[in-house]
Amino acid sequence: MTRHLLRDDDLTPAEQAEILDLALELKADRWKEKPLAGPQTVAVIFDKSSTRTRVSFAVGIADLGGSPLIISTANSQLGGKETPSDTARVLERQVAAIVWRTYAQAGLEEMAKDTRVPVVNALSDDFHPCQLLADLLTIREHKGELKGLTLAFFGDGLSNMAHSYALAGVTAGMHVRIASPEDYAPRADVVADADRRAAETGGSLTLYTDPNEAAAGADIIVTDTWVSMGKEEEKTARLRDLGSYKVTQETMALAQEDAVFIHCLPADRGYEVDADVIDGPQSVVWDEAENRLHAQKALLVWLLRQQ
Ligand code: CP
Ligand code: NVA
């Protein structure tokens, strides 16, 4: 049966762990798996800007023996004249998988419905599950077992990253804390889904408005831009509303002594995080960025095995 990764909880806890194990194997032996030998093509479509996602999918697909076809929606029919469903039915006759960075989650769902090839969410307004696989891999490398660790996210709790930390974190059995103003708290349906998953794994999701309470004793400190792609018009309000959620040395001092700092990047130093944190000794953001490659290769290998 064709499997897709549209949101983090599309993977069961066991499947998530299997993909992370495979990612570690592929990191140790980069050219071990060639499921795309031929080469078969993978379509990688962008409605929004990208550096890491574009490079890591292009490199990863080539590492797996395949050929990446990078498509910008600005010069394709998708998004203007053609529906996601019709686009998918054209692509599936020629490509082994479809990777798509877009705005509405509904477009990804439409593309995946009845499509014979795996569809991967490379970031939507609601979730960024590929980033979370890389983040969990990075945390595993630096902290060992994920289960039982406390991860605290600061800032825009309604963002794709906060939603993905909620779902993927509890899937891994972690205790996820999201600190945001009330108006930026995660969506209620995502919280309910995370709570359901947490009940299976022993993890938890807790929402905070006080950033200091969220930071206390955390193993992983996380933030993301206050102005996600598509929210540029709200920039002034967001800088005002989210200002007290900046990650600083004071935040790090409240966390565990050996806490790590992660950020999906790109970062706005001086806004969501101070330079001395992201460029400091507890930051593992460059490992995290590299791990996009290994995690996404593992994901593609795993999805192609389910075909
Ligand atoms: N973290 C991330 O997805 O980066 P890009 O926007 O550069 O792809
Ligand atoms: N929340 C950010 C993540 C960028 C990788 C955005 O959507 O712009």
- What atom of ligand 2 comes closest to residue 160's alpha carbon? 1
Helix, strand, coil % over all residues of the chain, rounded to 5: 45, 15, 35
Which of 46, 102, 123 best tests ligand 1's pocket when mutated (most atoms within 8 Å of CB)? 123
pLDDT number for residue 293: 98
As annotated, the active-site residues are 101, 128, 131, 224, 264, 292
Instruction: With beta carbons less than 8 A apart as the criterion, state whether 155 and 242 touch.
Output: yes
Q: Is 156's pLDDT higher than 90?
A: yes
Mean per-residue pLDDT, 97-101 = 98
Is the CB of residue 264 below 6 angstroms from any atom belonging to ligand 1? yes
Is the CB of residue 123 below 6 angstroms from any atom belonging to ligand 1? yes
User: Residue with the nearest Cα to atom 7 of ligand 2?
Assistant: 228
Ligand nearest to the CA of 295: 1
Is the CB of residue 126 below 6 angstroms from any atom belonging to ligand 2? no
pLDDT number for residue 114: 81
Report the predicted TM-score, pTM, of the whole model to 2 decimal places. 0.98
Mean per-residue pLDDT, 203-220 = 98
Is the CB of residue 224 below 6 angstroms from any atom belonging to ligand 2? yes
Mean per-residue pLDDT, 182-202 = 98
Ligand nearest to the CA of 225: 2
Task: Tell me what percent of the residues of the chain surpass a pLDDT of 70.
Answer: 100
Is the CB of residue 264 below 6 angstroms from any atom belonging to ligand 2? yes
Ligand nearest to the CA of 102: 2
Ligand nearest to the CA of 296: 1
Mean per-residue pLDDT, 209-235 = 98
Mean per-residue pLDDT, 206-233 = 98
Helix H, strand E, coil C: the string for 218-244 is: CCEEEECCCCCCCCHHHHHHHHHHHHH
Backbone angles phi, psi at 78, to 5 degrees: -60, 135
Q: CA-to-CA distance for 131 and 137, rounded, in angstroms?
A: 10
Q: Is 218's pLDDT higher than 90?
A: yes
What mean pLDDT is reported for the chain?
Answer: 98
Is the CB of residue 225 below 6 angstroms from any atom belonging to ligand 2? yes
pLDDT number for residue 75: 87
- The residue count of the chain comes to 307
User: Residue with the nearest Cα to atom 7 of ligand 1?
Assistant: 51
User: Residue with the nearest Cα to atom 8 of ligand 2?
Assistant: 228
pLDDT number for residue 80: 80
52 CA distance to ligand 1 middle (Å): 5
User: Residue with the nearest Cα to atom 3 of ligand 1?
Assistant: 53
pLDDT number for residue 88: 96
Backbone angles phi, psi at 221, to 5 degrees: -110, 130
Three-state secondary-structure class, residue 211: helix
Mean per-residue pLDDT, 200-228 = 98
pLDDT tens-digit readout, 21-79: 999 999 999 999 999 999 999 999 999 999 999 999 999 999 999 999 999 998 899 98
179 CA distance to ligand 2 middle (Å): 17
Mean per-residue pLDDT, 164-176 = 99
100 CA distance to ligand 2 middle (Å): 14
Mean per-residue pLDDT, 261-282 = 98
